[in-house]
Amino acid sequence: MALISEPVTSLQDDTRKQLGAFLRARRESLDPQRLGLPRSGRRRTPGLRREEVAMLADVGVTWYTWLEQGRDVNPSSAVMAAVAKALQCTPTEARHLFVLAGLPPGEAPQAVCCEGISEGTRRLLDTLMPKPASIQKPNFDIVAWNDSFCHLMGVDFNDIPPEDRNCIYLYLTHPAWRARLGRRDDVLAIFVSYFRAAMAEHRGDPQWEAKLARFFAVSEEFEALWHQRNDVRGVENQLKLFTHPELGDIHLQQMYWYSAPRNGSRLLVYLPVDDEGERALAWLTEQAK
């Protein structure tokens, strides 16, 4: 028996209905008083009125009503972002709105980046001593670390501007950092493949584009590899070789733990794999005192 596919128009109608239902649910979940809206008569239903959402989003009431009714109004990304903001959508909810509206989800409002770390995270890193540990973002920015990690990499992050605390940037610009990494012949190509893979979901993102431009500005070799090769590689647990000026070669097991399944920061911890590694980390701890 031949399968009968559902008409495209029917799928589009169903998607628009889902969009309307989601908009209505968000609108009815909001407290007008918390948003600073004036009291204006008795409300028959909870949440905001359609005209209030239209006012907050700076769109026409009729247009917004049609959008919520599931009509084919073809909203732009800018207008849908304004609606998402008016409805106090989280980044996940905003992305869902964009998908239902048939818009590129990458243009949805993103979470506000918070550079600080919690006291609990700080205690976690300190508790991991003498194991070198750090918290890194998907773009390889280092946002937190413990003392052992500083001594392993030969840098004091407190002396490095926040915008320079990036694994790739430090490899390209910081001689001490670069000297600590063993098997250096392959490192740059690996970094290029890491960043290419990570950036695939962030094409057009100004922050990621600026990061890439900064790598190009400080390393012609990085830029050349970026344009010459198309290798991609995901970060993974592996045995890493470090070269220390006083301890010599140190083999450590690199371990990652992700705080979210996608686009989340990751905890990086280096574990000893032999007695020499144990003694090396104990020595690094003494230097931190």
pLDDT in 10s for each residue of the chain, 289 residues: 444 444 545 667 778 888 888 899 888 888 877 766 666 666 667 788 899 899 998 999 999 999 999 888 888 989 999 999 889 888 888 888 888 888 887 766 665 444 456 788 888 999 999 999 999 998 999 999 999 999 999 999 999 999 999 999 999 999 999 999 977 668 899 999 999 988 877 777 888 999 999 999 999 999 999 998 788 888 888 899 999 888 889 999 999 887 654 456 889 999 999 998 899 888 887 776 6
CA dist., res. 211 & res. 201, Å (int): 14
Phi, psi of 116 (to 5 degrees): -75, 165
Which residues have C-beta within 8 Å of that of residue 206, sequence separation ≥ 6?
none
Q: Which two tokens stand for residue 151?
A: 């001594």
178-212 burial, b if ≥16 CB within 10 A, otherwise e? bebbeeeeeebbebbbbbbebbeebeeeeebeebb
| Predicted pLDDT at 242 | 92
What pTM was estimated for this model as a whole? Answer: 0.61
Instruction: Give the ranges where the chain is alpha helix by DSSP (H).
Output: 8-29, 50-57, 61-68, 77-86, 91-100, 119-127, 147-153, 167-173, 175-180, 184-199, 206-218, 220-228, 275-288
pLDDT at 1: 44
Q: What is the pLDDT of residue 103?
A: 87
Give the whole-angstrom CA distance, residue 282 versus residue 280: 5
Spatial distance between the Cα atoms of 229 and 239, rounded to a whole number of angstroms:
25
Positive/negative CA dihedral, 154, 156, 161, 163: positive
Which of these, 253, 246, 237, lies nearest to 280 by C-alpha position?
A: 246
Token pair for residue 236?
A: 């993974």
The predicted pLDDT at position 99 comes to 86
pLDDT of residue 192: 93
